[in-house]
Structure formats: structure tokens, C-alpha cells
Structure 1
């Protein structure tokens, strides 16, 4: 149970449909932490719940509970005391009435972890948990954390891994726990006991047993010796599932994720396919395809693109950037070559992204493992702040119990403050007791640091012992401006208002005092007075971070232990932002990047809300409106390509202009159609988007098949910068990359457009600015030429398709007339009809690869005019902002072939069709009708 990366729960959930839906069972809402649930092997209505209990206070909810009615009611059947919880629970596979419970006497304070006491021990029940007896023979007097595992392969054999001083290690009993033998007391099975200490017995082999520690350890001699398995995946192991039918198949859980083995632990599957990273903080740079940075618990510090060049975000888009798991990550956002990342015990590195090299720039390189905090020169938090000044990127800050500043890339550091903490020496002793020490439980340290965006001399500091300190002269003097109502607690984050230099927000938490009250303090006078604006947040949703929107004053975003909330009135009211998509997860940090809201989470990776335009514009009138069209943010024509890279990726943001609108009530789309049109500066419609019954209220699809959503509430549509698609489709495969569907319209040029929403009699309009990719400079004259050429190519395609369909219609008529003429024995008329059919056949085969029915058929039959038209159209359309000379030359050649084809088309009309119609005219009957070749 970590002090910096552990969340609390609210009880037990049950699913009766394989996990698709869950029901919360009554009785455990205040249990906080549940270590395991064991279900009876033949009667699922009977199960036992091992409640570990709250981390930061004695609680009466601890113990083992039992239900016999599927969870409708529970009885506590084992209770030791309010400091001792059930950390493990297992039953004998041959007789589930025999259960073993490992009870752990433990607790946490903000400055230490206590593991061990008189309550720790192993308990046994022989009657299904109704009564219990403590097993003490041969076991240590003082025990800490314990794991227990009866062997399914040998009734009566029980393994236990026990935290103790001289007698800690792996124990084995072969008589149902009556007597025990210490079989292995090496440090590898009991290191850092409060963090590990789980043991697992093989279901087939009584001598095979596993211990989860920093390494996953395996014994094949009944626990006497252990060797490490799972070396290829990750460290810090916490759980293991062994297939009861085939123990070669296992699933192991560690600080890096979950991996599967099919060969008993020799080889394991990848863990790079799970969005389960636990990030401490988040930062972003200002590149166009910007990156998100953060340190992840027991893993590397990473930078990963929020927008990838290849259509989706995958492993190719992230990189390590120095530091380690607990890092703050800082850099110049406009030039993020040099990245400053931290680690525990004051470690800090400069990572050069250009060379891939790292440089140790610690303030004071002290070897401090196992050393009490009061004996160290400086005290750094596990998650010590690092900041690069937004006013001068040469200035770097690193915070311990004092604040340090460097102006030479960490070559030297200057303390610019006194000790800014409470400096309580009695709370700076060993981080763990009474059995196992712990180094990460540092206290009286700086935990939060913020530089004013208005003034480089104004710095705000928050400490893990509840103080807020302020300097307005670059550190020459400091004032304690702690909110009087805060009390003891942790200053988790500080936000200086981007709109007012005197306004700041403090995310204050008391979860380390078992108080989950949401607290956000706001000052508007540099800390002289404070107001708690977190009262409207739900109970238990204690706050980790608050940010103010840089474009709208008073628009706040709060990252809480259970999700993200937004306030439009400076904290008076709050509303959840999950929208059914964001998980219930601790949100450790937030950053507003242009029009995006970026979140780091504890266990569910990074999340990006791609466009927060509606949040910035929302007001009471909009909320009441029957329909509202939001003014869209400027849309950037990023030159990213491809459709992604397959599995284990995240999608890019939508490519196009994001359009938001609201519908207050459900709409009968048959009676009241919904439509969005895009108009250029001349008022010409370039694209029309409509709803589709096939897509339902949610809309969706892509390209030419895109359909508008039309659900009650907020809707999001995307215009992909394309003009209306060609209305026709010919079938077949003219080119390999496209079947016979409709061809997308040409991409528009940057400029000012109008978005018009029409719903029945209601029409709403908003301006839209479309910008070209800022990474690519261009001459407007080149862009204008490209638009001229692509529209010409599109016009040729349109006329060609219409011509094909028109001639096919003529051929269809001619075939029918031929059949009628043959039945009437009018040979001359039948011959004339056959001439029309043949002329159209010859023309189509000469201009379309009609033999192609599959995309690889392009290898068998040659390209013809239709293929060439599509190819040159696609080439020019993708050539923004400048068309190559080769494309112009090719377009000239295709233009000539197109003219020849259209001349041949016209010759069919003036030749074979005219000849047939003249014969029909003589008979007084109507001739062949020729549809229009152009719109």
C-alpha cells in the first residue's frame, strides 16, 4: 500500500453476465481497501471478503466477511482489532470449509508506514469461516505482512511468506497449519515486505510454489530454494493467476502491467498493449504535433505524441526522457530538446533528446538509501517538483525542503529559500517500522511549485505538511500564506491564474489523515485571504489538481480521485466531465494545451480531450436553447497521413474542423432533417453533411459515408476539409487503393468559411477559420494554382463518371430495343441496336479496366483512362500547397486522353445512336434517350 500512488475503493461489486455489467453490494463502502474475494468452488452464493481497511486511520471495518446469499447480506466472521486487516485469504481446494486468513497489523501516517504488530498472524477455520483459531506454533512472535497459500496438489500442505525480523521468510506446514517450518529465509523472498509478500501454490505439483517480490520467484523443491522467472517483462510483482488445469499457463501482475506465460514462466507476452500507466504529473510542449510528458510509477519517464504523423499513436511515438518513475518533467515548451526529469531522493537528470544522452545534475549527490530523513543534508519528496521558467528557459527550479535554482543547466544550484516546511524532526525518522525500514516515506518536503505567468519573481510553494509559501522577489523573502482553514494535509498542486496575478488556486488534500473531503482554496489577494471552492464537489472526490482555462477566466478544471470536473463560475458549482467515456480513476494532473485538455491518471494512462471549445463558450442561455451551434475553433489542416498502424494504438484526433452543436430534445429526423453546410467566402456551398438512418443518432462513418450525429445533448461532427464527393459510383477497382464507391471531393484551401446548421425551420451560422499546417510554409499563388488544377481534375472525373453512366443507360435501352426488334423480326432495327451496344462496350473497355473486381486485379489488367483520372486527381489533391511539374505534365497528358474519350463518346451519340434513332423515327416510335453528360 503505497503512500504516493494508492487509491481507495468503495466496496464489492458483483457481475452475473461475465463482467459486462456490475452491481454494487451493500456493506463495504467504508472499507477503503479489500485485499481479496474468495468464491466457494461449487456454490457461487457463498464467498468470503478479506477487508484490509483504511490505510491512514484505525477502522472497525477490517476483517473477514462471509455471505451465503450471493452478497445480499454479509456477516463479519473474523475480527482482530481496528489496526489489523485481512491481507490474504485462501481455502483448501480439497475441502473449502478449511480456510486460512493472513491478518496484517499495519497503518500509515504521512511520514511513515507501520508494518507489524501483535495483531499480525495466520488464522484457520475448519467450518467455512464460522469460527477461527490463531495458528502460532513455530511462527515468529512479531510478524508484519503475510501471504498464505494452501497447496491444491497436497491436502494439508500450506505455504506462507512472513515479514519478521530474524525469522522472516517462507514457511511450510504439512499438517494444515498445526506446525510450521521456516524453509527459506533469504532476503529475496521478504525484501521490502510491506510492498510485496504474496505467495502462490502450484495446483498440480505440491513442491512448486511462487513468491511475488521485486522478482517473481519460483521454487520446485517445496520452498527451499528460489530462482527468478519473468525476467523479460518487469519488476515489482504483486499477483499471479495459475491455470488450475494447466499450470504452465499463468498471468502475472506487476508494476508494469499484466503478462501471460504458456510455458511455465520461460516466455511471457508483451505488456506494451495495456493503457494502464500510472502517471504522477503531466506536461506538454508546444510543437505542432505536440508531445505529452510524464513519469510513470515503477516505469520510465516518457514523452509521447498527442498527435502522430501516421494516423494513430503507437509505440513509435514515445520515447524515454531521463529521470525515473516518480519524475516531474520540465523543459522549454518551445524548444524541448533538453528535458529535466527527476527521481526519488533528489535525483535529477538533463536528457538531451537530440543525442539521447543523460547527465546527472543532482543538487547534492548524497547516497541516502536507508538513512532517516533528519540525517540527510536535504529532504526531497518522492515526487519532487522540477520547473523550467516560462520567462527564461535558462532558469531551472528543483525543490527539496528548500527551493533551488540553477541558471547553468544544473551545473550549479543556489538555495533561494530557507526551509519552507514545518521541519518536524520527530517525523523525519525511519520511513518504515517496527520490522522493515522504508526510504520513500520522506516528509517535511516541498510537493508543489508554481511560477506566476505574469511575473518571474513570483513563486508559490506548497509542502507535504500543509504549508503554502510565497515569494514576490525571486526568493529574497518568503511569506507563509497558508489558508487558515486548511489544517494538516498535503498541498498537491498550485495554479496561478493566467488572468489575474493576485489569484491562485490550491488543490489541498487530507487523504493521508483518512479525510477525503474535496478542498480547493482560492485567493484573489496573494494569499491574504482564502475561500474553499471545493464544497460543491461530491463527497470522497478529493482534489489532486485544479487548472484555470487560459482563455476564459473562472472556467476551472479539477482533477479528483474519481474523475474530472469543470466549473464555469470559479468553483461555485461543479459538473462531471466523464460523459460516459472517461474512466473512474484518480486524475493526478491536468494541462490545458491550446484547445485540448490533457490529463494524467493513476492507472489508465494519459487522456486528451481534443477540443474544449464548447466548455469555453457554454453559458446559461446555451443550456436552455432548443438548438445551438458553437463557434468552432480554428481548424488546422495538419499534413498527417495514413489510417493508423493497427493494434495497440490510440487514435489521432479527428482530422478536420470539429463542429459542436446541441439538441435539447429528440428529433424525428424524417420529419425534421438535420443538415450542416459549409460555405466558402463567396457563399458557395462546398460540402453538405446530413444525418443517416443507418448510422442512427450517434452518426459516424468516415469520408464520403460520414453521417451527422443527432442525439439529445452535445453532438460533435467533423468536416474533413473535403468538398462534396462525386455523386456517382461505377463499381470495380480502377485503382488498388479504392473500390468502386463514391470518390471524395477535393480538399479545400485555407481560408474563411461559414458553417450553417439547418434543423427544420431553424438556421444557425458560425464563421470558421481554416489554417494550413504551420510547419509548412507556402506561397498563396501556389495554393491557388493547386486548387485550380484539382478542381479541373475533379471536373473531368465527374464528367467521365456521368458519361459512363449515361452511356450505360443508352446501352441498356439498346439491348431492350434489340430484343423487341428480334421478336418483331425487324432485322435492320436489331442490327442498329446491336451497333449501339457494341459501340458503348468498346468505348467503356477502352477507358475503364472493367475486368478488375478485386484490388489485386490491378496487377493483371492495365490501367486505362478512368484509373489515370483518379490517380492524377488524388496526386494533385494530396499535393497541397504546391503541385509538382511532373503532376502538371501528367495532367496535360490525361487532359488530352480525356478530350479524346469525350470526342469518342460524342461520336457514339452522333453515330450509332443517331443511326438507330433515325430508323425509329421512320417507324414513328421514340428513339434512345441520352442522359446529360454534365451536371
Structure 2
């Protein structure tokens, strides 16, 4: 544990800040109480893994803390700490989720578990119990590594076979295999390290023995089995060697690149998912004051190697390299300061931007089209979609619309859908869920939500990327259509009334646009026609969104600089639900009717308010000889207000003033929308019955309004015309 305490003696010596491996803590009373580290995203992760659930979860071991499991998405719109679990006490080392059972997690736990060096835990989420399945569970603290039966490094490898999910490998100075969940182990290699006794004595030398297990040397740093060939296993060490076996461990060959520097920490062996003979190796020598990057590739099963550092910056040490699962030659490298990528198999490298802070990246995983990074100081980061890197050319010169990945029709919790504050600080997305965020205003009318003590959810909707080689000379437009080519909704960069996030970008470069999968919003109540006695402190509520599209095939069209491109994509249902196509259609049909009726209601209220304003103006222009006309106008106002008072709550003063008066029919329609959409399920019988009843009442009030317009307003207009007074408009029905 690294701790630094700063005290202020000039102003108040009782105020101190303490920095540790988990973050920073503050005291105002001389250390009697301290603030928590759980309000900051500063975890130091070593190695990570992902499972196959939906949403998938990310796992890691973290310095001076427990191992942790975090969902990649949450129904709360953010990722709160309460959704995390703690699968074991793994502080150090690798972590591996059972690919056939995500409730079972294996993690290295040197320094935080019995069995000391080589501590391996098997955690069961169902029972919340840890079973120690170490190769040799002997207490070794205080022992020199030369006196141990087996040596295991602080971050010793743990990995499952990609061919046989019952087979588990771990790496010490030997490679070990278990086929019974760690109940027994078989040694399948000789000592693969240099096994130099000079580097296996007491840490700290003869004066200061400090043998906690973190200092063990001459061990495996990476073990990986080939997904292409049975029996082929690669292993690298922390003292500069690479070995391979092609007969399941019966015989191993030294396959170390000739240019590998002496005593390099070879932390990653990555087998190409596209070519069985292609293997990548990442190494570093920063512990020996050598900060140069080392990356190697073989295309002939390790017979020969070449450096693929390319134009990597000098002084940028590399810890991990990953090959994309879809595009050959697309590589990602985790370094001491961030993530780099290459589109040409390592000839050229570029730093990835996108908001990732400057931080050591200890591990990377590719999950579908997501790139997951485990950092040593800034927790987990996920690049939500690497699809553009899979489709764009390195020298892309033309406009390019990237095919969106399959989009899950994700569902947020009702609280988030209806009550998440759009301004200022919000201390929770729902009742009892602690997760603070802040909405800040940026230049150009933009806003951004900052995540203060929680994780950020991936975008809810279809992510559309497009590339513009030059600044667009005209508007850029995105149009979304269904499988029958019927337009659902369109967005244009020149729409002056649209929020910033719904305007496609026009500058040269790569653009990301997120469609929330919604149809057009219903017609809204015109705020310019509302009469308010004062400006409320509470912000105005948002108008309801339109209904979400059902799972199926869709298209998106890009129009930019006279060019038009169209690509298709799929929207799929949440794999955890069993809702059928018919049930989705039934839900959508009822929602269309409810939203349509809400539009008609709002338009009717707008007509009423406009007519009331005109009548008020007419009454001001009538002279004393037109008292009868004034009385008729006032009577008409009363009848209009009677209809308005049924359609909406006319006594409501603010968006939060919901409990003083009975709801209007619009409130009931909106609440029914929430009733129907709260789950991906067919509407209940009673929801259908109530919907029909409320929509019928709305029709009745609109029928009264139409009758007034046809009879009373027309009659009053005739009388006003006779009196040479400007006529009333009837509004659009």
C-alpha cells in the first residue's frame, strides 16, 4: 500500500489528504474520520476478463482491494456501485470467468489470501464462497523464491482453453493444467524461465528481507492456447523468453524472438484469430530503465520474428497487444499512457482519443465490437463500438457511411425514463440508487453529463458512424427507414430548432450519431400559448418521446455533399426476454394509438388557447355598443375553458405541481404510455380497456370543440363581421 499524507500547518493542521492505491481520502478532524475512496474512479487494475452474459460484465483484480465485477450497462442509465460484485479477494494477478458458467470466477490472490505465493481462488456467486484451488497451497511469506516448490509471479496467468471449456491453465515457473476446476493439477512443462538462482534470493537482500510474494521472479507472464490447433500452447516469461508446445505439453520449444532484449517482461502473447501461424508478442523493460516499446510478430509459427513497433513513439512502453476479431491487421496496444491502434498490422500506429485519460493500460479485451481497457489508476474504460476501425480504410478519401452493428433494444428503468434530471447535479437515477451525475453546459448549446461517482452507460440506441473527407458544403442529413422503406424519422444539420445532439456533424472527420430508436414525438403543447403567473423554480419537463421501433431490419441513409449512401442494420430484443414478434407488434400498435391521441389532444388545447387569446383581443376592441358581442365572446371562452379543463389540468402551476388537482386526460394518456412501455411485454387486458376508455373521452371532448368551432365560432364571426370587427380563426382541426 502506497500512502502519502499532506498536512496543512499554516491554516488548519487537522485538514489532511491521504493518497493510497485506491484513491484519496480527506479528513477535517485530524484523522478521526476520513472520506471514502468510493466517490472516485481511481481503481488500479491488473488483468481483466469479460463474460458472456447480457449485458456482459467486466472483471479485474485491483491493487490493495478486492477483485471486482462491473456490468457494462445498467437499467439505471448509469453504472452504480450497488450493481458491482466482488468475486474473491483477488488483489493481484489474472482473473478468468468460467466460459460455461459466469457465476464461477478464478482469480489470483497473492497478498490477499491464504496459500501465499500462487494463491488461486475459485469464487461462486451463488454461494458467495471462495474455494482455494492453488497448485501448491503452502505458506511462503518470508521465504526466498529459490526455496519454494513452485514459483508464481505477482500477476501469474490464468486462462481457460478455447477448445475445451473444462480445461484451465495457470502459469508459474511451469505451466499447470486442471480439468476438474482446480481440484487437482498436472505439470505440463519444465521450468520455462531462465531459472537464474541469482535472482531468486530474498527480496531486499541480506539486510532487509521483504518476501510478500510480489517479488517472485523467473515465472510465466502469459499463457495462451491456440484456438486453431489442438495441443498448441504458448507461454512467455518475465525474464525474456517465449516457448511453445504443439503436443499438449509433452515437448516445448524455445520460440523467443532473436531481437528480444535480455530480461524483458514478456507480458502478452496474442494469437491471431485469423491465421493460426501468426502470433504477436508485447514486452517491456521499464524495470531496467529501458522505456522503449517492444512488439514482435511471427507469421510462421515462431520460426522467425519481426518488430512491428513501426512509428510507435519512443519512450512509450507496451504492456499488452490485442488483434481484432473481425478485421485482419487491426491491432490495439495498451501502453503506459493510453491505447494505440494500427490498421496495417503494426506498420503504423495512432493514439486513440475519445476521452481516455493519460493512464497506464494494463490489459485489453475485445468483446463483440467493444474494446475494454483495464487501467492502473482510472478504473475500467470501454470504447463502445470499434466498427469504424473495421470498415474505414487507412486513407479513406470518400464519404463513408459505416454499417451499424446489431443494436439491442435496451430498456431503462421507469425512474430513469421519466424522472432523471436533465440539468444540474442529480444524486441518483432512481429511488434508493446512489449515483451522482452533473449536467454541464458547453459551447454551442451543447450539454454533457459528467459521472461523479458512477460509471457511464453505453448509448441507448443505434450508433451510426459516418466519415466526411472534407467539411460539408451543405446540410448533412440522416434518414431512418423500416424494412418496407417507409421513413420513420430524419435528422438534418440545418434544423435550427433541433437539440445539438440530434444534428449530424458537418466537419471533416469521423462522426458518431446515436438514434434513440424512437418515432417522431407527438405534437406538443405550445409553451408560447401558456399563461404563467411566475417563472417556476423547477425546470420544465421534457415532452414525451415517440414509441420505440420493434425489433427487425432497418435502414439508414446519409446525404452529404450531393452523395447518398444507404446501409441496413438490425435491431434485436434483449436476449434475456422471451417477448415474441406478435407481442411486440401488439404493444407498438397500442402505443401508436395512445401517442396519436395525445397529439390530437395537444393540438386541440393549442387551438383552444389560440382562440381564447383571439377572443380576449376581440373583447378589448369592442366598444360600449357591442356589449352583447362581448357577452357572447365571454360565454364562448367559458365553454372553451370547460373543454380545456377536462383535457388538461389548467390549475397546474409548475411541472412538479402534480398532487393538488385531479389529472387531465393528457396526464392519463401519458401515464398509460408509461404503463404500456414499462416492460417489453404485450399490454395487459386492463391496460387495453382503460386506454380505450380514456381515448374515447378525449374523442368526446374534441368532438365538443369541433362542434363549438362549427357552430358558435362561426355564428360569432358572422356577428363580428356585421359589426366590422376582425374575425376569429378556428385553428387547424
CA offset at residue 240 of structure 1? Answer: 3.0
Distance 1:740-1:271 versus aligned 2 partners, 3 A rule? closer
Which residue does 2:279 correspond to in 1? Answer: 504
In the alignment, which of 660, 664, 667 is matched to residue 864 of structure 1?
664
The alignment partner of 1:805 has SS state of: helix
Query: Paired residue for 2:23, among 249, 253, 257?
Result: 257
How far does the alpha carbon of each residue in 1:794-846 deviate from its partner, in whole angstroms, 9 at most, with x for none? 111111111111222222222222332x2262233323322322221121112
Equivalent pair of 1:848/1:864 in contact (CA under 8 Å): yes
**5 Å matches for 1:840-855?**
840-855=640-655
Q: State the match for 1:756 in structure 2.
A: 557
Alignment partner, residue 417 of structure 1? 189
| Paired position in structure 2 for 1:660 | 465
2:590 counterpart of 1:590 = no
> Closer, same or farther in 2 for the Cα pair 1:248/1:331, shift >3 Å?
same
Q: Distance in 2 between matches of 1:607 and 1:632?
A: 21
In 2: Cα distance, 1:456 partner to 1:904 partner: 78
SS at match of 1:469: strand
Secondary structure of the residue aligned to 2:205 is: strand
Corresponding residue for 2:151?
379
What's the CA shift string for 1:11-56, capped at 9, x where partnerless? xxxxxxxxxxxxxxxxxxxxxxxxxxxxxxxxxxxxxxxxxxxxxx
Aligned mates of 1:763, 1:348 — CA distance in 2: 57
Shift of 1:434: 4.7
TM-fit CA distance, 1:651: 1.5
CA deviation vs aligned residue, 1:287-329 (integer Å, no higher than 9, x gap): 1111111111122111111112211112112221114211210
TM-score relative to the length of structure 2: 0.89
Aligned partner (choices 626, 638, 644) of residue 838 of structure 1: 638
Pick 1 or 2: higher relative contact order, CA cutoff 8 A, min separation 6.
2
1:335 Cα deviation from its structure 2 partner: 2.0
User: Among 515, 519, 526, which residue is 1:719 paired with?
Assistant: 515
Which residue of structure 1 aligns with residue 491 of structure 2? 689
Partner of 2:440: none
Q: Distance in 2 between matches of 1:799 and 1:521?
A: 66
Which position in structure 2 is the counterpart of 1:887?
A: 687
Shift of 1:673: 2.3
Q: Is the 8 A contact 1:285 1:334 kept in 2?
A: no
* Alignment correspondent of 1:612: 386
3-state SS, counterpart of residue 512 of structure 1: helix
The answer as to whether partners of 1:446 and 1:462 remain within 8 angstroms in 2 is yes
Give the conservation status (yes or no) of the 8 Å contact 2:166–2:180: yes
Q: Quote how far apart the aligned CAs of 1:520 are.
A: 1.0
Deviations 1:335-378 (A, max 9, x none): 21111111231110110111110011111122211211111111
Are 1:918 and 2:718 matched, yes or no?
A: yes
Residues 564-607 of structure 1, C-alpha deviation per residue, up to 9 Å, x if partnerless?
1111111111111124x212221111000111100111211111
Residues 260 and 268 of structure 1 are in contact (CA less than 8 Å); yes or no, is this contact kept in structure 2?
Answer: yes
Structure 1 residues 869 and 411: alpha-carbon distance in aligned structure 2, compared to 1, 3 A threshold: same
Query: How far apart in 2 are the matches of 1:926 and 1:250?
Result: 75
Q: Who is 1:427 aligned against? A: 199
Give the distance between the partners of 2:546 and 2:341, measured in 1 at CA: 39
Partners of 2:100 and 2:165 within 8 A in 1: no
Aligned counterparts of 1:902 and 1:497: Cα–Cα separation in 2: 66
| Distance verdict in 2 for CA 1:314–1:740, change over 3 Å | closer
Is the CA contact (8 Å cut-off) linking 2:553 and 2:568 kept in structure 1?
A: yes
Seen in structure 2, the aligned counterparts of structure 1 residues 740 and 923 have a Cα distance that, compared at 3 Å, is farther
Hey, what does 1:516 align to over in structure 2? 291
Aligned partner of residue 860 in structure 1, secondary structure: coil
CA contact (8 A) 2:60 2:68 kept: yes
SS at 2:658's partner residue? helix
1-side partners of 2:657 and 2:497: how far apart?
A: 32
8 Å CA contact 1:729, 1:741 repeated in 2: no
Query: Which SS does the other structure have where 1:624 is aligned?
Result: coil
CA distance in structure 1 between the partners assigned to 2:132 and 2:544 by the alignment: 56
- Residue 532, structure 1, aligned to residue 332, structure 2: no
- Structure 2 distance, partners of 1:694, 1:438, is 67
Q: Indicate which of 590, 593, 610 corresponds to 1:809.
A: 610
Task: Count how many residue pairs are aligned between Structure 1 and Structure 2.
Answer: 685
Q: How many Å separate the matches in 2 of 1:636 and 1:334?
A: 23
5+ residue gaps, structure 2: 111-116, 421-428, 430-434, 437-451, 532-537
Pick from 630, 634, 638: which aligns with 2:402?
630
Query: Could you tell me how far 1:746 is from its partner in structure 2?
Result: 1.1
Asked if 1:795 corresponds to 2:593, the answer is no
Contact 1:243/1:250, CA 8 A, preserved across alignment:
no
In 2, the alpha carbon distance for the partners of 1:578 and 1:497 equals 25
Note if 1:729 corresponds to 2:729.
Answer: no
User: Partner of 2:49 in structure 1?
Assistant: 283
Deviation (angstroms), 1:925: 6.8
Give the conservation status (yes or no) of the 8 Å contact 2:520–2:546: yes
Runs of 5+ unmatched residues, structure 1: 1-234
What is the rounded CA distance, in whole Å, between the counterparts of 1:334 and 1:412 in structure 2? Answer: 20
Q: Is the 8 A contact 1:727 1:742 kept in 2?
A: no
Instruction: Specify the SS of the correspondent of 2:276.
Output: coil
